[in-house]
Amino acid sequence: MRPLGPSVRAAGRKYDGRSPDVHGLRAVTLDAGAKTALIDGYEGRTVAMKRLLATMIESLPEADVDLCPYCSLNQNPDLDHYLPKDRYPEFSLHGHNLIPICPQCNRKKKTTIKTRQGGRYFLHAAFEPSIDQPILEASIDYSSPVPAVTYHIEDNGALPAAELPIVERHFAKLGLADRYRKRAHGALSSLRNSLRGSSGAAIAQALNFKIGGAGLGKPDNDWEAALYRAVDQDRDPMLAWLTTP
């Protein structure tokens, strides 16, 4: 590993200088032995590897540390190489290339990096989104017996023009609209079941509590926070549904 040090460090500096747009980097030319050594360094989970992983985790927003930064839904027991280690072994142990990830996002992302047109598919969790405000919105349709929740991206013009399409591709490629919808429907059904038989005043109080606490300690783009922001905009139909026998 030691002879590879200078070229790997130079590649790492180039990676950090290009971040988050690292998808256009050319892989360093390495022989088969060097590639194997670098990948084995990652697979072996050395002390150095653990230090680099700790550095990556520390770079994430505090609210995201225990959640997958790709979806903010699940815990993150897996580790993803933003640039796949088989194609870019020089970044096998590069801290910013190591992203904690949940198994579901890991399966969906696989080794995908960019579209045929050269655009990035995924946000880089160490650096993006670049604005510190919600860009995830929920809408609720009350025309059916059960409220139907949908999710979409709405940045109100706040995101840089080049970043918005990446956000939208990220959202679509990971199936987040459907994954968030399922969570929202499950959460609302559980809330209704827990309040069955309660008085109207108790139900209103419980809903107020949910609205007030939904975003506490959560990432900006948490599905539950977005859900209850939508509920807050039009409480009456939600109260009517919650109080229906």
- Return d(Cα 230, Cα 245) in angstroms, integer: 23
Percent of the chain scoring above 70 in pLDDT = 90
Question: Residue 63 pLDDT > 50, yes or no?
Answer: no
Please tell me the pTM assigned to this model.
0.87
pLDDT tens figures, 32-59 = 888 888 887 777 656 666 665 566 555 5
More confident residue, 29 or 205: 205
- Reading the block at residue 83, the tokens are 């640039």
What average pLDDT does range 181-204 have in this prediction? 96
Residue that wins the pLDDT comparison between 60 and 182: 182
Three-class SS state of 183: helix
List the structure tokens of 80.
């993803």
The pLDDT-based confidence of 79 (bands split at 50, 70, 90) is: confident
Average pLDDT, rounded, for the chain: 88
Cα(172)–Cα(184) distance, integer angstroms? 18
pLDDT at residue 60, rounded to an integer:
53
